[in-house]
């Protein structure tokens, strides 16, 4: 099969590429390297099954040409800085929704029938039920969450019009090798500058579920292989959930720092649109015999180890 | 209170305006008259509480100026031709979602804290449960449904960022005075040309719930008056549901035609993205002591009567 992975040089995308190449598929990575890194895909550059297109999804003509003879799209490219939508009301609309519409248009023109999409737990907003299942009301509290939910709907509308099969994955936070932004990155960067005092947003009580990236990738491939449905919406998360305080302690311990004084700025410092409790139900995935293999603590340790081995990423 | 009604010269919008004027509020109608009609608001033109702005939502500068000192926005303007999104993939995106984002930007700039929005049963797509409640999974099968769902999410993201209160109404089909497009219009127009043979899409079996427009308006005002929540999502529909065949027979009978031969083109003639069974749960509205007063048959008769009295609309 021939696959195209948008954002294929990024954190999640590059792991998907590894898996596809391992399974002997033909893979095109389409990435503008705004957050993607050559480091994450350079081991494939000489593989004849691998092709790299360094371009922006904004270029609909090139995107359409790039999809020639492709069977399956992994649309992973996104603007993933959830905080920024509060100060810039158009960035998520442009970079998430409009680029997704370009992907769908290019698929339509090439008569491609399968798409997998990386959505997010943020589509639920402040969920009223935890663990939150896929049929929970969508009430996003950020433009990031709103545009990701909008992408899901556009994908399903095109899928309905043109008989495509859609695989939508609502991810909890992903951790692991090639992780490049988020709380672990922020904490390690601060500790690198000052390992005595760590100044932190919030009060440490919010609870956030995460999942190890290779477990997450495995969940995607499990759904794609086992589900027979045309429209697929699956949470990908973990039964475990840690408080931010527990996450920070695990990072500090994993990184080998001692006597770090944590200073919490309090709840008023939370960024607008954040959700204080994220725990996704993974019962739907369990029915396909998938469950995460790696604990959240181990996923944090693996992430910290990756940064130790790749200091230049900090 | 001062209200601005986008699409205030349209079918639903003009009834909202009637209600607000009756309640002695100040009302600005913002309408580009693409489908709105002066006929629907001309009885207010001399009222000092009423102001008409003939403009497009695309004009963000004028829209922002028009919202000065406004307390509450009814955002009703929309591209409501569900069928067209299949042949034109950008019209719903542009006219529904982007115009809604303009409304939200103008509200943000004017620090306006309340918005009511006309959404649709189409956000559910082919619902798996009937009657369909508000927390049913959203899986729209048309770009109309997808963009309306996206509007809901953008509204709730802004509401979350800026402490706005949102009232989102997912309407079944509305019928009644000033109705200007949909099955009753189509059937009456065909019968006007040929009252012996009536050629119809589908096979008559799809079931569609409708509600009388003044019942629908009353539901909106009930929620706005009684709910204390920040985020409100309510279905507006009816416990009754008719097949398309029953709806057509009621139209023919109400219009006084006899011996009309119906010719169904069959299921293959259905337009892409249509949902064959629409029945919304109104239990959430029932809890606020609202229920529809008018049967669907009576709503159809009222609509047919309106066309008889306004032949030029056909």
Main-chain dihedrals φ then ψ at residue A58, nearest 5 degrees: -65, -25
Residue ranges making up the domain that contains A76: 2-174+211-236
Rounded-to-integer distance, Cα A157 and Cα B274, Å: 11
- Would you say A125 and A145 are in contact if contact means Cβ atoms under 8 Å apart? yes
Name every residue in B having a CB less than 8 A away from some CB of A: 85-86, 89, 93, 97, 101, 104-105, 108, 123, 125, 134-143, 145-147, 149-150, 152-154, 156-158, 160-161, 231, 233, 272-273
CATH of the domain at A187: 3.90.25.10
Please count the residues of chain A: 314
Q: Does B40 share its domain with B83?
A: yes
Q: What per-residue confidence (pLDDT) applies to A74?
A: 98
**Nearest neighbour of B146 by CB, restricted to A137, A145, A157:** A157
**Nearest neighbour of A139 by CB, restricted to B143, B145, B231:** B231
Residues of A in contact with B153 (CB under 8 A): 123, 138-140, 145-147, 149-150
Q: How distant is the Cα of A245 from the closest Cα of chain B, in angstroms? A: 25
Residues of A in contact with B137 (CB under 8 A): 134-135, 233
Q: Does A63 share its domain with A200?
A: no
Q: What per-residue confidence (pLDDT) applies to B301?
A: 98
Q: Does A54 share its domain with A162?
A: yes
For B53-82, write each residue's pLDDT tens digit: 999 999 999 999 999 999 999 999 999 889
Q: What per-residue confidence (pLDDT) applies to A271?
A: 84
Q: Residue B152 is inside which H or E element, if any? A: helix B143-162
DSSP A86: G
A134–B156 C-beta distance less than 8 A = no
Q: Does B224 share its domain with B299?
A: no
Q: Does B7 share its domain with B149?
A: yes
For B228-269, write each residue's pLDDT tens digit: 999 999 999 999 999 999 999 999 999 999 999 999 999 887
What's the structural domain count of chain A? 2
Looking from the CA of A130 toward its CB, the CA atoms found within 13 Å total 17
Main-chain dihedrals φ then ψ at residue B103, nearest 5 degrees: -60, -45
Radius of gyration of chain A (CA): 19
Residues of A in contact with B135 (CB under 8 A): 135-137
Four-residue CA torsion sign, B174, B178, B179, B180: negative
Tokens in use for B57? Answer: 């939502």
> Does residue A131 have a cis peptide bond before it, meaning omega lies within 30 degrees of 0?
yes
**Nearest neighbour of A140 by CB, restricted to B93, B142, B153:** B153
Quickly tell me which residue has 């918005």 as its tokens: B115
B86–A101 C-beta distance less than 8 A = no
Residues of B in contact with A146 (CB under 8 A): 150, 153-154, 156-157
Q: What per-residue confidence (pLDDT) applies to B80?
A: 87
CATH of the domain at B31: 3.40.50.720
Q: Does A161 share its domain with A304?
A: no
Q: How distant is the Cα of A260 from the closest Cα of chain B, in angstroms? A: 33
**Nearest neighbour of A233 by CB, restricted to B123, B137, B272:** B137
Q: What share of chain A is helix, strand, coil (3-state, %, to 5)?
A: 45, 20, 35
Q: What per-residue confidence (pLDDT) applies to A120?
A: 98
Classify residue A269: in a domain, yes or no.
yes
**Nearest neighbour of A161 by CB, restricted to B93, B97, B272:** B272
For B115-144, write each residue's pLDDT tens digit: 999 999 999 999 999 999 999 999 999 999
This model's pTM is above 0.90: yes
Closest-approach residue (CA) in chain A for B108: A89
Phi-psi region of A125 (alpha: psi -120 to 50; beta: other; left: phi over 0): left
Rounded-to-integer distance, Cα B82 and Cα B143, Å: 8
Classify residue A134: in a domain, yes or no.
yes
Q: Does B157 share its domain with B32?
A: yes
For residue A80, name the pLDDT band (cuts at 50, 70, 90): confident
Q: How distant is the Cα of B165 from the closest Cα of chain A, in angstroms? A: 13
Q: Does B255 share its domain with B196?
A: yes
Nearest Cα to A4, choosing from A59, A52, A60? A52
Three-state secondary structure string covering A122-187: HHHCCCCCCCECCCCCCCCCCHHHHHHHHHHHHHHHHHHHHCCEEEEEEECEEECCCCCCCHHHHH
Q: Does B9 share its domain with B143?
A: yes
Residues of B in contact with A93 (CB under 8 A): 101
Four-residue CA torsion sign, A243, A245, A249, A255: positive
Rounded-to-integer distance, Cα A292 and Cα A239, Å: 8
Q: Does B19 share its domain with B143?
A: yes
Classify residue A285: in a domain, yes or no.
no
Classify residue A287: in a domain, yes or no.
no
For A1-46, write each residue's pLDDT tens digit: 999 999 999 999 999 999 999 999 999 999 999 999 999 999 999 9
- Would you say A176 and A296 are in contact if contact means Cβ atoms under 8 Å apart? no
Laid out side by side, the sheet with B26-31 consists of B50-54, B26-31, B2-6, B72-75, B114-120, B165-171, B231-236
Residue B175's CB: how many other CB atoms inside 10 A?
Answer: 28
Looking from the CA of B104 toward its CB, the CA atoms found within 13 Å total 26
- Please determine, for residue B44, whether its predicted confidence score (pLDDT) is greater than 90: yes
For residue B270, name the pLDDT band (cuts at 50, 70, 90): confident
Q: How far is CA A55 from the centre of its chain?
A: 20
Q: Does A72 share its domain with A179?
A: no
Residues of A in contact with B104 (CB under 8 A): 89
Four-residue CA torsion sign, A238, A243, A247, A249: negative
Q: Does A101 share its domain with A119?
A: yes
Contacts of residue B108, defined as CB under 8 A and 6 or more positions apart, other chains included, come to A89, B158, B162
Contacts of residue B216, defined as CB under 8 A and 6 or more positions apart, other chains included, come to B12, B169, B171, B174, B236
Contacts of residue A286, defined as CB under 8 A and 6 or more positions apart, other chains included, come to none
Q: What per-residue confidence (pLDDT) applies to B264?
A: 96
Rounded-to-integer distance, Cα A22 and Cα A11, Å: 17
Q: How distant is the Cα of A140 from the closest Cα of chain B, in angstroms? A: 6
């Amino acid at each position: 099969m021939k696959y195209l992975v948008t954002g294929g040089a990024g954190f999640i995308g590059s792991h998907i590429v590894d898996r596809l190449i391992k399974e002997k598929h033909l893979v095109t990575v389409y990435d503008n390297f705004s957050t993607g890194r050559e480091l994450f895909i350079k081991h494939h550059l000489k593989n004849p099954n691998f092709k790299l297109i360094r371009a922006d999804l904004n270029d609909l003509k090139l995107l359409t040409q790039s999809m020639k003879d492709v069977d399956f799209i992994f649309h992973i490219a996104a603007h993933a800085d959830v905080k920024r939508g509060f100060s810039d009301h158009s960035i998520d609309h442009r970079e998430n929704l409009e680029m997704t519409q370009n992907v769908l248009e290019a698929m339509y023109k090439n008569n491609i029938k399968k798409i997998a999409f990386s959505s997010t737990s943020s589509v639920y907003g402040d969920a009223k039920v935890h663990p939150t299942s896929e049929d929970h009301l969508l009430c996003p509290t950020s433009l990031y969450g709103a545009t990701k939910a909008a992408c899901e709907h556009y994908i399903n509308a095109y899928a309905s019009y043109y008989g495509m099969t859609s695989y939508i994955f609502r991810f909890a936070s992903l951790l692991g090798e090639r992780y490049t932004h988020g709380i672990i990155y922020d904490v390690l960067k601060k500790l690198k500058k000052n390992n005595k005092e760590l100044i932190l947003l919030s009060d440490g009580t919010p609870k956030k579920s995460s999942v190890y990236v290779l477990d997450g990738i495995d969940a995607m491939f499990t759904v794609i292989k086992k589900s027979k449905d045309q429209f697929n919406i699956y949470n990908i998360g973990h039964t475990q959930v840690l408080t931010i305080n527990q996450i920070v302690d695990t990072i500090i311990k994993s990184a080998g720092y001692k006597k770090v004084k944590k200073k919490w700025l309090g709840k008023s410092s939370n960024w607008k649109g954040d959700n204080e409790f994220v725990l996704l139900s993974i019962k739907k995935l369990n029915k396909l015999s998938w469950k995460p293999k790696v604990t959240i603590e181990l996923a944090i340790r693996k992430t910290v180890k990756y940064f130790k081995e790749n200091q230049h990423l900090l």
